[in-house]
């Protein structure tokens, strides 16, 4: 086993050369105050609205759908949901955060001038809910140029008690995808875990950050979260995934095409130009929630 060499957790107040250097070296960097308190409140309010409407926040006329959970408290409604996939498809607020200027500023510095997004996930991790075992996001979202980057935005103060993320600094550097296997540890949601990597849990760093902070991390970085062991409250987070627009996205290929030429075109351009704009866009991803042990990164 090798031992990761890294500095204590650092939060940056701006996207500068130190932020970029840490991202390159450690595979992650944290931007403090990426969202304002008002923006955090707006996302949390939108999450409640989506949950109350049963994931259909507006009807065809643009009016709010009736409460799908009448008689239940807001807290009880939220506790029914583990993860909402692709909220940017049904929420202007989530879509705006996907393109947030401070987020895009960081992405263009660590990825390049042309950046596209392909996924958003809204996690509502109430007390007692599990985390996710060690994994690499590139395992789930393959890119051809290793440009995948996640942006994990804390919507509550994230602590070790309520199930913050943990990272293995430098584990992205080799660009190796480690093997995965099924696991049955009750601390973790989802059935898969990465294994066979040259790090131990002692090398891990807890990403304890205040609400509004954003963790930028490389798609090859090994990371996990543990259960929310608090007695009440949430550890909510909005996670978006991005990559270079120059790269094809061979993801969710159900059309029988060669992997190397398949290009998933349900994307959102957030910066620069799309060199594959001539292909057009497609509406493929379906918003929805998921049950326990059914997948979903970065819980």
In the numeric block, which tokens belong to residue 14? Answer: 């701006």
**139, pLDDT greater than 70:** yes
d(CA 250, CA 265): 10
Residue 4 within any structural domain of the chain: no
The answer to the question of residue 217 being in a domain is yes
In a domain, 184, yes or no: yes
Tokens of 172: 């992205």
Q: How many Å apart are CA 216 and CA 212, to the nearest integer? A: 13
In a domain, 3, yes or no: no
Q: Does the pLDDT of residue 28 top 50, yes or no?
A: yes
Mean pLDDT across 229-236 = 84
Residue 135's domain is classified under what CATH number? 2.60.120.620
- Cα–Cα distance between 82 and 236 in angstroms, integer? 10
Is the per-residue pLDDT at 238 higher than 90?
yes
Number of domains in the chain: 1
Integer Cα distance of 151 and 241 in angstroms: 6
Give the whole-angstrom CA distance, residue 44 versus residue 267: 24
Mean pLDDT within 233-248: 95
Strands 28-31 and 11-12: parallel
191 DSSP 8-state letter: S
Extract the tokens encoding 26: 């450690």
Provide the domain limits for residue 107.
Answer: 11-289
Q: Does residue 218 lie within any of the structural domains? A: yes
Supply 88's token pair: 């940017």
Residues 183-230 have pLDDT tens digits of 766 676 666 889 999 999 999 999 999 999 999 999 999 999 988 887
Q: If you search the block for the tokens 């849990």, which residue do you land on?
A: 201
Q: Is residue 298 one of the residues assigned to a domain?
A: no
| pTM, entire model | 0.91
Residue in the structure block whose two tokens are 């543990």: 226
| In-domain check, residue 294 | no
d(CA 206, CA 168): 9
What are 185's two structure tokens?
A: 């540890």
Closest listed residue to residue 251, CA positions, set 139, 155, 153, 157? 139
Domain-located, residue 296: no
Report which of residues 155 and 68 the model is more confident about: 155
Three-state SS at 216: strand
Whole-number average pLDDT of the chain? 89
The answer to which of 154-168, 260-274, 283-297 has the lowest mean pLDDT is 283-297
Question: How do residues 78-131 score in pLDDT, each as one tens digit?
Answer: 988 888 999 999 999 999 999 999 999 999 999 999 999 999 999 998 888 878
Query: Can you give the pLDDT at residue 3?
Result: 46
Query: CB neighbours (10 Å) of residue 180?
Result: 17
Q: Which of helix, strand or coil describes residue 289?
A: strand
pLDDT tens profile 31-70: 999 999 999 999 999 999 999 988 776 655 555 567 888 8
């Amino acid at each position: 086993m090798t031992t990761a060499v890294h500095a204590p957790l650092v939060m940056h107040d701006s996207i500068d050369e130190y932020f970029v250097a840490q991202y390159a070296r450690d595979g992650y960097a944290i931007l403090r105050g990426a969202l304002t308190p008002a923006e955090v409140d707006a996302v949390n309010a939108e999450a409640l609205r989506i949950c109350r409407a049963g994931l259909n926040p507006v009807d065809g006329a643009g009016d709010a759908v009736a409460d799908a959970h009448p008689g239940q408290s807001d807290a009880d409604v939220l506790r029914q949901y583990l993860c909402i996939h692709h909220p940017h498809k049904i929420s202007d607020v989530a879509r705006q955060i996907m393109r947030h200027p401070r987020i895009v500023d960081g992405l263009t510095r660590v990825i390049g001038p042309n950046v596209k997004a392909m996924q958003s996930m809204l996690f509502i991790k109430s007390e007692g809910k599990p985390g996710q075992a060690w994994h690499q996001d590139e395992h789930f979202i393959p890119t051809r140029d290793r440009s995948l980057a996640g942006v994990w935005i804390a919507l509550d103060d994230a602590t070790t008690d309520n199930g913050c993320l943990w990272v293995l600094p430098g584990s992205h550097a080799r660009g190796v995808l480690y093997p995965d296997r099924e696991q049955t540890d009750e601390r973790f949601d989802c059935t898969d875990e990465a294994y066979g990597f040259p790090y131990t849990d002692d090398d891990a760093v807890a990403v304890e950050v205040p609400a509004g902070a954003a963790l930028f991390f490389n798609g090859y970085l090994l990371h996990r979260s543990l259960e929310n062991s608090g007695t009440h409250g949430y550890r909510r987070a909005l996670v978006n995934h991005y990559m270079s627009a120059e790269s094809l996205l061979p993801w969710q290929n159900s059309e029988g095409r060669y992997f190397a030429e398949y290009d998933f075109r349900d994307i959102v351009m957030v910066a620069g130009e799309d060199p594959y704009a001539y292909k057009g866009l497609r509406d493929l991803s379906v918003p929805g929630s998921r049950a326990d042990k059914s997948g979903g990164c970065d819980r």
